[in-house]
Structure 1
């Protein structure tokens, strides 16, 4: 399966980010805690060089906790500020204001020496589609000021949001990059829903997820769907279809529907906490 999704609005969004970068003191980059490396857009490093950086491991409640801590350590060793958050439930959000001030300490000190006092920190919030930027902003602001949706591409333009007298945020659309050098990255992004499902082959994608879970989290599928183990990933989809009574005409198993159920259960944490990549494999 070949993965690529780079619609026209992403080119426009990248240009807009480039134009606004000079107004920014800090880049807050959201990554998905289940795939912290694959969900980092390499273009952001290029756009944000010489800017203070804060990496947020969002959806941390969907990934293994010990793996979250390993990733925090990994990013801190690279010189980034890093925090794990769960924007939907507000986990880790309270600490963010202090972390923002800490990350911009040098810049605020420079301002103070030049006689510039009380200028708010301006932060650009960036990340790939469906990583939870708008949910994070609304959670941080304590009100709904950014559009949210559990699908990629909800935020289309930029918007400034004033959090308080100390911090202003620039919300930006989720952007991918024009070409995945490694198709394994595309596969992981498809698993978490950052690539439009409409352009994917659901059964093939779900069978790859079965393969990963069988290897890394044995027993999870058997327990969740009350099925017997099988090393044949397509047979597993048939068993899930049988267990969930997914039938098409003629009483055949609807493996496409079973595939959609599996992907949805994974994306929403109903299979338990699953991390798709670990730092020692990097």
Structure 2
């Protein structure tokens, strides 16, 4: 399945980010902790150039703790500090604010030395669709300010939000890139909901996800769908999907499988963490993970939700 999704408003978002860079002091980039490589938009580095940046792994409560630890170690080896956060519970958000203030300190002192009146330091939040930017903003601000949703494309325009007397924050819509050269990246984005379900074959996506889980998280898969562990050996992808469908009663007339229904169940339960804490990629899975570079005085990484 070849997955590509780049609606017109994303091209506008690229222009919006570029046009507003001169207005902001620090970039906060949110990544999905379940797919730390696939959720990193390769265009962000070019767009933000040398702006100081905080990188936040969001949705870490849904990710495999052991693999998240591997990612934290990997980023540390690149000179990138990782902060584990959770936008729902608020875990780690105070540290994010503290790190942001550290990055802002030089600007604040520079302005004071010039005798300028204090002005709020401005942050910009960027990330792919459905990574949890609005939930992150609402939690860090402390009130429901940004529009939230469980589907990509909810936030369509920029929003300036005052966090406190010292910090203002610019929310931006989710942005993907025009072409996924690596279709595994496209599949990972589809699994996590960064790409709209209605532009792809969800039965094929669910089947591929089940195959991944059968290889890397067989115990969690068998427990959730009440499968006998031995059934996963040498089972064909379609047969696995159909077996799961029968276990959940996704049958229509004459015993036929309701593929759309079981596909929606599999994807929804993965996205909601009901199958277990799962991460779909590890450091070293691709050579490209070694190309991440620091941007600004120090790149911080926060992990969440």
- Please report the TM-score for the alignment, with normalisation by the length of structure 2: 0.88
Q: Give the conservation status (yes or no) of the 8 Å contact 2:111–2:118.
A: no
Aligned length: 282
**Farther off after superposition, 38-47 or 223-232:** 223-232
Residue 131 of structure 1 is matched in structure 2 by 131
**Farther off after superposition, 27-36 or 209-218:** 209-218
SS in 2 for 1:136: helix
- Greater length-normalized contact order (CA 8 Å, ≥ 6 residues apart): 2
Alignment of 1:167-186 (within 5 A): 167-186=167-186
Choose which of 253, 266, 270 in structure 1 pairs with 2:270.
266
Q: Tell me the distance in 2 between the aligned counterparts of 1:76 and 1:115.
A: 37
Q: Give the conservation status (yes or no) of the 8 Å contact 2:122–2:167.
A: yes
Q: Give 5+ residue unaligned stretches, structure 1.
A: none
SS in 2 for 1:106: helix
SS in 2 for 1:161: strand
SS in 1 for 2:83: strand
Alignment of 1:28-107 (within 5 A): 28-107=28-107
Q: Tell me the distance in 2 between the aligned counterparts of 1:61 and 1:103.
A: 27
Question: What are the superposed Cα offsets for residues 221-259 of structure 1, whole Å, 9 maximum, x if unpaired?
Answer: 211111232322211211111111111122222232112
Question: What are the superposed Cα offsets for residues 153-177 of structure 1, whole Å, 9 maximum, x if unpaired?
Answer: 0000001000001111000000101
Is 1:142 the counterpart of 2:146? The answer is: no
SS in 1 for 2:31: strand
Q: Tell me the distance in 1 between the aligned counterparts of 2:108 and 2:78.
A: 23
**Farther off after superposition, 115-124 or 14-23:** 115-124
Is 1:281 the counterpart of 2:288? The answer is: no
SS in 2 for 1:16: helix
SS in 1 for 2:125: strand
